[in-house]
């Protein structure tokens, strides 16, 4: 019978620790033997914090092979977030306070100044458990350069919460610009609603399953099943962070 990826990981940990049994490995890790059995059978979640402290090389290789997430990928993703357009967005965000209410833009920009678009800015965070849709109350508006936004009528802003996507350059309090008109593709970072709770994750599409993958080794992927209430509420196209 073919071994699962978790069974292979436990076997590698046995070899790395010179252990002859799961009992010996459990003693080294300071856990009960039953926990090792759970890891093999996939009944329990892997304790990445513990495994990284004891067997960092084997654990990181497992994560890379299992989910396709490695340090080089995270580095490239962070670099892609940089650039002149993002810097300009941060400047505008700090210099022009967001407009409250539903009034239309009344700008007197000269011809050489950038055109501004208003985006609905939902002040609750993406982990607050309140799905964003066209009927959600807008508490503020965010002004951004028009050339940053391809589909203004279908784009909104929301704050990030938590650290599950730090490897992709998304940190607590960042403003996520989300385009709900885009068709989400494999590896896109999306805002998804799972059983009524929002989350920002990387969409991972395989032949027979769809998952939401975090960019933080301390978080487990979310495998989407048929009994879940699952909706993709847009693709994250920009991440804005104030640096001062």
Write down the pLDDT at residue 85: 47
Instruction: Read off the pLDDT band of 223 (50, 70, 90).
Output: very high
DSSP for 140-164?
EEEEEEGGG-S-GGGEEEEE--SST
Is pLDDT above 80 for 238? yes
> Which listed residue (19, 35, 193, 201) is catalytic?
201
pLDDT, tens digit (0-9, with 9 covering 90-100), for 71-121 = 444 444 444 544 444 555 555 555 545 444 444 444 444 455 568 899 988
Q: What is the pLDDT of residue 65?
A: 65
Instruction: Calculate the average pLDDT of the chain.
Output: 76
Residue 81, pLDDT score: 45
Q: Is 81 a catalytic residue?
A: no
CATH number for region 109-240 = 2.10.109.10
Give the global pTM.
0.54
Give the torsion through C-alpha atoms of 186, 154, 88, 238, to 10 deg: -20
Q: Is 169 left (phi over 0), alpha (psi -120 to 50) or beta?
A: left
Exactly one of 19, 35, 164, 215 is catalytic; name it. 164
Q: Strands 189-194, 210-213: parallel, antiparallel or unpaired by DSSP?
A: unpaired
Residue 57 pLDDT: 73
At 43, the pLDDT band (50, 70, 90 cuts) reads low
Which residue ranges make up each domain of the chain?
5-67, 109-240
Question: Among 168, 148, 154, 178, which Cα is nearest to 69's?
Answer: 168
201 is catalytic: yes
What is 5-67's CATH topology? 434 Repressor (Amino-terminal Domain) (1.10.260)
């Amino acid at each position: 019978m073919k071994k699962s990826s978790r069974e292979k990981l436990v076997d590698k940990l046995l070899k790395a620790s010179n252990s002859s049994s799961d009992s010996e490995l459990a003693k080294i890790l300071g856990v009960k033997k039953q926990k090792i059995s759970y890891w093999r059978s996939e009944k329990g979640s892997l304790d990445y914090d513990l495994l990284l402290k004891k067997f960092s090389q084997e654990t990181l290789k497992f994560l890379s092979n299992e989910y396709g997430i490695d340090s080089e990928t995270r580095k490239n993703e962070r670099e892609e977030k940089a650039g002149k357009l993002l810097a300009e967005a941060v400047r505008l965000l700090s210099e022009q306070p967001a407009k409250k209410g539903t009034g239309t833009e009344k700008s007197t920009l000269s011809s050489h100044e950038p055109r501004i678009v208003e985006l609905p800015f939902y002040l609750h965070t993406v982990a607050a458990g309140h799905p964003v849709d066209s009927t959600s109350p807008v508490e503020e508006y965010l002004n951004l350069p028009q050339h940053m936004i391809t589909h203004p009528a279908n784009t909104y802003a929301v704050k990030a919460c938590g650290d599950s996507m730090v490897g992709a350059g998304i940190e607590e309090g960042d403003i996520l610009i989300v385009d709900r008109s885009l068709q989400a593709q494999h590896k896109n970072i999306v805002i998804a609603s799972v059983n009524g709770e929002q989350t920002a994750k990387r969409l991972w599409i395989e032949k027979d399953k769809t998952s939401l993958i975090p960019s933080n080794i301390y978080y487990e992927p979310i495998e989407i099943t048929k009994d879940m209430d699952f909706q993709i509420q847009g693709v994250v196209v920009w991440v804005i962070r104030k640096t001062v």
